[in-house]
């Protein structure tokens, strides 16, 4: 059975080329593994590895859910997230994430429901650069090891997926507003 890693978003802060590089490094010869990438723009780079596929279509909510469900695990090398919509949506669909538990992701990513990467906090660079700002930089070798672990331990991926879905589905606008009001000390 083919094991599929999903990833998405071609914003430079998401480090999509890093996911592709680590996928190929983790699985140089395996034929039963895929990397499915959801982006909104056409990609100009061509790949000779037919295990890597791109979806650039505008998807309905049902089609997007189906795309998440077609993956076994979602991989994210993002430098920072205010929330992490794709990670949250993947988890809600029962697919755990491989990601550095940093920034807004700490709201819902745990070692119980996801595969948390080692990372270092570094000064931000590039198009989002702001003096004094920090980002995470995932540990590349740990990402490669974690991808291989998921591929070889599919039952563990499914177990974490069940927990991921339960945890992600606990979050709602009402919970967010309640928590925000509570943090601000406002009682309604």
Query: Cα angle vertex 23, ends 135, 76, to 5°?
Result: 30
Beta bridge partners of 6: 36, 74
Residue 139 to residue 153: CA distance in whole angstroms? 21
pLDDT at 55 (0 to 100): 82
| Three-state secondary structure call for residue 8 | strand
Rounded distance between C-alpha atoms, residue 104 and residue 173, angstroms: 15
The helix/strand/coil state of 2 is: coil
| 3-class DSSP state of 163 | helix
pLDDT digits (tens, 9 = 90+) for 11-64: 666 677 888 899 999 999 999 999 998 877 766 556 678 898 888 888 889 999
Per-residue pLDDT, averaged over 126-140, amounts to: 70
Residue 93: closest CA among 59, 117, 62, 52: 62
Pick the range with the lowest mean pLDDT from 4-8, 59-63, 126-130, 184-188: 126-130
């Amino acid at each position: 059975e083919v094991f599929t890693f999903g990833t998405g978003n071609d914003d430079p802060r998401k480090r999509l080329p890093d996911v592709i590089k680590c996928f190929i490094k983790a699985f140089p010869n395996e034929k039963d593994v895929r990397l499915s990438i959801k982006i909104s723009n056409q990609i100009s780079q061509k790949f000779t590895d037919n295990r890597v596929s791109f979806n650039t279509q505008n998807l309905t909510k049902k089609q997007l859910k189906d795309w998440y469900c077609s993956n076994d695990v979602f991989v994210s090398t993002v430098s920072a997230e205010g929330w992490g919509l794709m990670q949250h949506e993947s988890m809600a669909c029962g697919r755990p994430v491989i990601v550095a538990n940093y920034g807004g992701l700490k709201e819902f990513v745990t070692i119980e429901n996801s595969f948390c990467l080692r990372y270092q906090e570094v000064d931000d660079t590039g198009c989002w650069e702001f003096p004094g700002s920090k980002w995470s930089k995932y540990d590349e070798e740990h990402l490669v090891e974690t991808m291989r672990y998921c591929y070889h331990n599919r039952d563990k991926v499914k177990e974490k997926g069940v927990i991921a879905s339960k945890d992600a589905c606990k979050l709602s606008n009402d919970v967010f507003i309640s928590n925000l009001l509570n943090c601000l000390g406002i009682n309604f």
